[in-house]
Structure 1
Amino acid sequence: MDKSSKNEQTTEEPMDEAQQAHSNESETEESQTIEESVAPGEDNGESSLPTEPVEEDQPNEEKSPDEGDTPQQESAETKQVTEQTAAVTDEESSATDLDTESMTDMDALYSDSLKAFDEGEIVVGHIVNVTSDEVMVDIGFKSEGYVPIHEFKTDEKGNSNLNVGDQVEVYIVRHEDADGQLVLSKQYAEEQKLWDSLANAEQSGEVVEGKITERIKGGMRVEVGALKAFLPASQIELHPIRNWDDYINQTYPMKIVKLDKRKRNIVVSRRSLLEEELSTRKAELLSNIKEGELIKGTVKNITEFGAFIDLNGIDGLLHKSDMSWRKIHNPSEVVSIDEEIEAFVINVDLESERISLGLKQKTTDPWESVFDKYPIGSTVKGQVVNIVSYGVFIELEEGVEGLIHISEISWTQRNVAPSKIVMKDQELEARVIDIDTEKKRISLSYKQLVPNPWELLDVKYPFGTKVTGTVKNVTNFGAFIEIEEGIDGLVHSSDFSWLKRNVNPRSILSEGQEVEAVVQKIDPQEQRISLSIKHVEPNPWNLVSTKYAVGSIASGEIVNLTEFGAFARLEEGIEGLIHISELSEERINKPDDVVSKGDVLDLKVIELKMDEQRIGLSLKQAVADREREVVEQYEPKPKQAVTKPKREIKKPNVEEAEETTSFGAALRNVLDFRSEEE
């Protein structure tokens, strides 16, 4: 094959690496064959073609005339010799032309053999020698190339297991190094082929195998053949990774998502393959799954509201309300991560690709037989599973709980925290008082197991009974007194004193103090007892009607002045009101125009309301009565035997009457009457 034909072939049809290697081998063998055929010519500088020897001198006896040679014979021989000489000359000339042509072809082929190999090309060669440091490879170039021994794989003992004659693909690094040797690399050849294959995989979407070697910032380091690649954390799994170490030294199929040979940057993804696989499995599962059937899966994740179950390609939600017939506070109480379970398919939503699962649906609802097991009025036993501010929950069986409301815990202890009476996990007996199957509620009572002590209080403490108790609490409106354990009575602020109003209970009683009180009222239904401290002593107002009868004169001290009058204290706790109109005969604007605080006056009782504990007093009427008494002292007593004509008492005119007081007018009349008698 000459140079032109070879170039034409290269232009018309590109050859792959194997065809190129085969062509190189053919050209190498052809070149070696030509070199062997022209080698002697190169050494002697003469043609290698064979030539016949030429006889220059003939023996004398052959040329002597004695042998009978004639001139014609000599002339024929001379002609023959001349022809032979000319033939030899032609042959030598022809051989010289052939030698020149062979050398030209050899140079052309030799040059072609050098041009066939470019730096950066991958070619196939034969191992011609193996040493401890390097491997000599013949690729058909003018000289053999050397490859470092460490670029070849070795066994556990460090042996390369290379043999002379083995074929090997190498990369032409340089035609000549400083020593004029051909520089080859097997590692570069493998990398170059790997880069090419990865580029094809990126374009075609083919899958490559990658081995995760270590964890780095943002993801994982992956080996793809002899090259390093980066696997982002978000592209490892479909779900968050719990244990990164589980992936080290594991080989997974991956896809090339980014490739930059110049920067030697390779980014791979495992998630894309998982998503494709998941999509396939999801479609298959949704087409086959049916509501009401049982399906197996693995607990993938646990949240506050339930657990997600991996159903081999799609996640199903197991809500905590569907885990058990009993109330579940934490889904971890029922399932755990990676646990394999069999669940009941409650609902399948093909549009949103959601599957609802349940565990409790595998068993019968215990509420269907609640009325038969726990009739109203019966006594049941259960375990305290939860204590809240408003009561206690008792588990009667799995899935059936009853509530003991705080009002049903004790007959006597009210407004007390349930945790102070019962403890969690404690076994209790209770009485069933109500069942609501629709809302799945059972109402229980703990206190109804014993008689109600409030129903006996009417008999034990009838009205008016004096009791002794301890002050448990003091408020603005009164005080609570415990008369026996769990039984408290209220003393209202109005029942502290007969005489004092607007009493502050804290100024009279303190917690822990022992006091006497009188039972006023008992309400078993509302569980209330009304007590009174003031009823321990007689009501001083009961004597007021006797001591301060209407029309009587009483001494009182002015203790308070108001716009409408003055209050006078008759005795301790007994006060009366002097209205402003009863302070003087004259019209006054303010009470302090007539009286002052601290004044002690004789006052007339003009009004008495026992039910309202009110006494009405009058100063002006008391003064009028006193003046009348004085006048009566000076009036003569009439004689029964002597009858005398009546004399009219001179009445003062209107002007004089206005100038004098009633006392003065009376005194004048008396004096005038006496002067007339004399």
Structure 2
Amino acid sequence: MKSLGAGGPCLWSLGRMSDNLPTDSRDPMNPTLETAPSANLSELYAQSLRVITEGQIVKGRIINLTQQDVLVDIGFKSEGLISRSEFSDPASLKVGDEVEVYVENVEDEQGMVILSKHKADRQKGWERIVNNFKEGDIIDGRPARKVKGGLMVDIGIEAFMPASLASFKGYANLDALVGQQLKFIILKISRARKNIVVSHRDYLVKEKDQVRQKLIESLTVGERRSGTVKNLTDFGAFIDLGGIDGLLHIGDISWGRIGHPSDVLAVGQQLDVVVLAVDRQANKVSLGLKQLFPSPWQHAEEKYPVTTKIKGKVVNLVPYGAFVEVEPGIEGLVHISELSWSKRINHPSELLKVGEEIEAVVLAVDAKNQRLSLGMRQASGDPWQTATEKYKPDTKVVGRVRQLTDYGAFVELEDGLEGMLHNADISWTRKINHPSEVLKKGKMVDVVILTCEPDNHRITLGMKQLMPDPWSQLTQQFQMGSVVEGTVTKVAGFGLFVEISKDVEGLMHLSELDLGPSEKLDERYKVGSKVRAQVIKLDELERKIGLSNKNLPPASTP
């Protein structure tokens, strides 16, 4: 800051001082000139000066203006010169205006007092902030300029806002924010460094929370609201209600079955929804779309009475049955036990495929609980009603082996009817441990009907009954004590099974085997090896032949 002239300011100060001199000390011919001794004049001049200290904010008056500077009198021995750029509205300045300035130095090398309008404003702004605001308060401001890492914001003084705190999401265009009047939240006030950090993002978050809270308080279960599809997920869609997001679950989008929300909705789509539930503590809202339309279950009992035959599409297969869509919004369950009259089905996928069209009969309908029970086997009629006439005992039939179990085979006689062929009824003479020893799945076999019980949905079959019982002949062919020669068919822990004729086996028990003290059964005898044995047991009732190779008579020589 410098003087406008070498002596101008000093003369102005002396003139002001003379206004305070006693009237008798003035020259009556010239009131502006003093007649008091020079010593008294200096003393009076000194008394008229204000006490000014560095760092003080004082009031002054503009006494002169140039294009670049403003001359301010603060009642001190010299004036101060301030650049116009330190004033917020330099064009409005005029001589005589009162301003507050900051005293940087009471006297520089030219004898001028050094003043600053900018520092005065900053000091006053700082005092206003610390006296009236605290961390967490909302304050108005205007981003003034872009700096490294963020923006300097004018809130009365300059505060710093990091770039990451300028926008609600991510980093905003900082240049676009400069000059805008915005609201901020004070994050930090450092009294030691006299700096302040603010955030526009925190204000936006707080404002959004307030809007959300106000909105959620206004929501009522059952009311209709408009919203915008914000996001789609596998389990539903999030709908923006104008400040809070509600979940539209996939099950509440349509009365009919949909694979994914994107099948019927799109991001940005405007739609009306119904408020299903509001959790104000968790700020969660459940919405429904299908509730805007009548439920198809309202007239289900009148439309689908029991015994009605319907057509539908298989939409889902589960271990306990198949879900069939009768119409959009109405699905019925065909329980696994209602798929077939006699087929043993472990999973519905053995019989049905998703997307397949089927016929079924309505077994029960409960519109209140939205349940529809269906039967598929009833649609084709009950084959057991005519089974007694078609499958009388001793009737010879042909069937397809459908399933093999440890205890026998299920043979399909016709669609919907199966019979059970037990292991014991496969062969007269051979011990069958598993039907796979004789039968193959899918093969056609000749069988005879042993029993038919339509009330119990049971038919028993036999294979060995297709031929005469050979045991009467076997007792003649293999008499007690006779020596036979056969082939080892199985080595068990308790002995050997030996085939002594086609499909005729005898058991050579471990106690009847000729084994040395150190010999092991499975090392001495192998499947397929030939052995000589003596018949020691022939039980026609139990269908068993006992053999032994101990104390065998010597083989006859030719």
Is contact 1:129–1:136 with CA below 8 Å preserved after alignment? yes
Matches within 5 A, 1:388-427: 388-397=318-327, 399-409=329-339, 414-418=345-349, 421-424=352-355
Q: Distance in 1 between matches of 2:545 and 2:192?
A: 115
What are the ranges of 5 or more consecutive residues in structure 2 without an aligned counterpart?
Answer: 1-9, 516-529, 554-558
1:594-609 matches, within 5 Å, as 609=540
The superposition leaves residues 342-380 of structure 1 with CA deviations (integer Å, 9 ceiling, x where unpaired) of: 666677899999987766665555434221111112233
Q: Is residue 255–residue 273 contact of structure 1 (8 Å, CA) maintained in 2? A: no
2:47 to 108, 113, 121: 108
1:497 to 427, 432, 452: 427
Q: 1:213 to 1:614 in 2, by over 3 A?
A: farther
SS in 1 for 2:482: strand
- Which of 393, 414, 435 pairs up with 2:365? 435
Name the CA distance, whole Å, in 1 between partners of 2:187 and 2:507: 104
Distance 1:204 1:502, change over 3 A: closer
Deviation at 1:445, TM superposition (A): 3.3
State the secondary structure of the residue aligned to 1:539.
Answer: coil
Q: How does 1:222-621 map to 2 (within 5 A)?
A: 223-225=153-155, 227-230=158-161, 245=172, 249=177, 252-256=182-186, 258-263=188-193, 264-267=195-198, 270=203, 274=207, 277=210, 281=214, 285=217, 364-382=294-312, 384-397=314-327, 399-409=329-339, 414-418=345-349, 421-424=352-355, 429-451=359-381, 463-467=394-398, 469=400, 474=404, 476-479=406-409, 491-509=421-439, 514=443, 516-520=445-449, 530-535=460-465, 537-544=467-474, 555-557=482-484, 609-610=540-541, 612-614=542-544
Rounded Cα–Cα distance in structure 1 between residues aligned with 2:503 and 2:344: 38
Residue 106 of structure 1, CA deviation: 1.6
Secondary structure in structure 1 of the residue aligned to 2:333: strand
Q: Distance in 2 between matches of 1:458 and 1:212?
A: 96
Distance 2:136 2:507 in 1: 109
Contact 2:142 2:182 in 1 (8 A): yes
- Give a deviation string over 1:208-249, Cα, whole Å, max 9, x none: 1146899999x986834352345899x999xxx667659983
Q: Contact 2:485 / 2:500 at 8 angstroms: preserved in 1?
A: no
**Letter of the aligned partner of 1:493 in structure 2?**
N
Q: How many residues get paired?
A: 505
Q: 2: CA distance between counterparts of 1:410 and 1:216?
A: 79
Secondary structure at the counterpart of residue 270 of structure 1:
helix
The structure with the largest alpha-carbon Rg is 1
Distance 1:516 1:363, change over 3 A: closer
User: 2:72·2:82 contact (CA, 8 Å) conserved in 1?
Assistant: no
Aligned partners of 1:558 and 1:567 also within 8 Å: no
Tell me the equivalent position of 1:9: none
1:591-638 CA distance string (max 9 Å, x none): 979xxx96666x798x7544x2246999xxxx9xxxxxxxxxxxxxxx
Per the TM alignment, residue 397 of structure 1 is displaced from its structure 2 partner at its CA by 4.5
1:404-434, Cα deviation, whole Å (9 max, x unpaired): 334445666934554973334x665543221
TM-superposed CA distance for 1:105, in Å, is 0.7
Q: Is this contact kept in 2: 1:177–1:183, CA < 8 A? A: yes
Deviation at 1:170, TM superposition (A): 4.1
Tell me, yes or no, if structure 1 residue 137 matches structure 2 residue 71.
Answer: yes
Contact between 1:210 and 1:224, CA under 8 Å: does it hold in 2?
A: yes
Counterpart of 1:539, as a letter, is D
Q: Is the 8 A contact 2:221 2:278 kept in 1?
A: yes
Shift of 1:442: 0.2
Identify, as 1 or 2, the structure richer in strand. 2
User: CA–CA distance in 2 between the matches of 1:419 and 1:473?
Assistant: 12
Q: Report how far residue 202 of structure 1 moved.
A: 1.4
Q: Per-residue deviation at 1:191?
A: 2.6
Matched, 1:201 2:128: no
Identity of aligned residues (%): 31
For 1:556, the aligned partner's letter is: V
Distance change in 2, residues 1:566/1:558 (3 Å): farther
Distance 2:257 2:399 in 1: 48
Q: Taking structure 1 as reference, are residues 316 and 574 closer, same or farther at Cα in structure 2, changes over 3 Å only?
A: closer
Is the contact between residue 381 and residue 429 of structure 1 (CA under 8 Å) also seen in structure 2?
A: yes
- Structure 1, 100-109 or 400-409: larger mean CA deviation: 400-409
Q: Does structure 2 conserve the Cα–Cα contact (< 8 Å) formed by 1:208 and 1:224?
A: no
Letter in 2 for 1:378: T
Shift of 1:199: 1.6
Task: Assess, with a 3 A threshold, how the Cα gap between structure 1 residues 476 and 341 changes in structure 2: closer, same or farther.
Answer: same
CA distance in 1, matches of 2:60, 2:79: 12
Provide closer, same or farther for how the CA distance between residues 107 and 173 of structure 1 changes in structure 2, counting only shifts above 3 A.
closer
Tell which deviates more after alignment, 185-194 or 221-230.
221-230
Cα distance in 1 between the residues matched to 2:247 and 2:498: 84
Structure 1 CA distance, aligned partners of 2:438 and 2:503? 16
Which structure has more relative contact order (CA 8 Å, sep 6+)? It is: 2
Once the two structures are TM-superposed, the CA of residue 451 in structure 1 deviates from its matched residue by 4.2
What letter is aligned with 2:362? V
Aligned-partner residue type, residue 106 of structure 1 = Y
The CA RMSD over aligned residues, in Å, is 6.0
Q: Structure 1 or 2: larger helix share?
A: 1
In the superposition, relative to structure 1, how do residues 429 and 309 fare at CA in structure 2: closer, same or farther (>3 Å)? Answer: same
Mapped to 2, the partners of 1:191 and 1:317 lie a distance apart of 50
State the Cα distance separating 1:195 from its structure 2 match. 1.8
Q: Are 1:126 and 2:97 matched, yes or no? A: no
Contact 2:361 2:378 in 1 (8 A): yes
Distance in 1 (alpha carbons) for counterparts of 2:531 and 2:160: 108
In structure 2, relative to structure 1, the CA distance for the partners of 1:540 and 1:318 (3 Å cut) is: same
CA contact (8 A) 2:159 2:198 kept: no
TM-aligned CA deviation for residue 33 of structure 1 = 2.8
| Equivalent pair of 2:184/2:198 in contact (CA under 8 Å) | no
What is the CA distance between 1:120 and its match in structure 2? Answer: 4.7
CA–CA distance in 2 between the matches of 1:308 and 1:604? 85
Q: What CA distance in whole angstroms lies between the structure 2 residues aligned with 1:356 and 1:615? A: 77
Q: Which moved more, 1:394-403 or 1:267-276?
A: 267-276
Displacement after TM superposition at 1:174 (Å) = 3.1
Partner of 1:88: none
Asked if the contact 2:317–2:348 (Cα under 8 Å) also holds between the matched residues in 1, the reply is no
Distance 1:229 1:368, change over 3 A: same
473-482 or 313-322, which deviates more:
313-322
8 Å contact from structure 2 (residues 496, 507) kept in 1: yes
Q: What's the CA shift for 1:501?
A: 1.3
How far apart, CA to CA, are the structure 1 residues paired with 2:58 and 2:377? 96
Residue of structure 1 in register with 2:4 after alignment: none
